[in-house]
Structure formats: C-alpha cells, structure tokens
Amino acid sequence: MTRSRRYAAAALVLLVFCTSCMRTVTLSTVDVTPSSTTSEAPLRSATNLPTSFTIVKAAPSAAECPPLLADSLYRTTLSLRRSVVVPVQDANGVHHRAIGDYAIDPPLRYGAGPDDLLRVDCARMRAIGIVAS
C-alpha cells in the first residue's frame, strides 16, 4: 500500500469515527404573547425575579398552572388567582401553553403593588411580568 493510500484510509477512518460521535442538537424559540391572556390589564416589568419558581402544589393536569408556587430565595409564596391557555407557535407548529396570574405573599415583592399579580409562564415556571388584579 502506498503512503497516499494509507493517509486516505486513515483520514476515512477518522472521518467515520468523528461523525459517529457527533450529536444533533435542535433548538427552538417560543414566543409567548401574554397580552392576549387578559385584555384589560397591561403588562409591566418585574424585578428581582428567580430564574424559575418551585411547584409547591402540583396542577391537576400538565396543561394547567399549579395552584401554589414558591420562591425560596425571597421566601415568597405565589397563589394562583386566574389562568388561561394560549396558543403559541414555534418551529414545530402551534402548541398551547398555560399562563397564570398569581397573588404574591408577602406582597410588594418583584416591584408589584399591593393589589398586583405576577404573571407566570406555567410551562417554564418563569415570571413574565406584573399585571393589575
């Protein structure tokens, strides 16, 4: 076997080995339009939010919002007041996502007023913003 054939064979083996080790990662971005949940309340920015909330009491089904959430960092409890399921379109088509408005205890956290609610994306357990109750 000539030297160039050996190099070509080694390169082919290396190429096959490298491609067998590769993983395919598919990323998709989901945009939530919270203003469509309630037409009467404008959405305001919230501050000092955790990256996600902890579920204290699970929802009756996966398509609904949990009735009770917690933020252990600020020792805050969130109680569900109202929720809605909204259609969300991503690269894979249209899906439905639950959005919930939660009462904050103790109040006045996250930049909310005494009668404000915190809007949460229930699929991600992340805050979206503050709305009037």
For 107-116, the pLDDT digits (tens) are: 999 999 999 9
Answer whether the bond into residue 42 is a cis peptide, omega within 30°. no
Give the pLDDT of residue 132. Answer: 93
Position 120: which residue type?
V
Q: Which pLDDT score is estimated for 11? A: 62
Read off the tokens for 59.
């929802």
Q: What is the pLDDT of residues 80-118, one digit of tens each?
A: 999 998 888 888 888 888 999 999 999 999 999 999 999
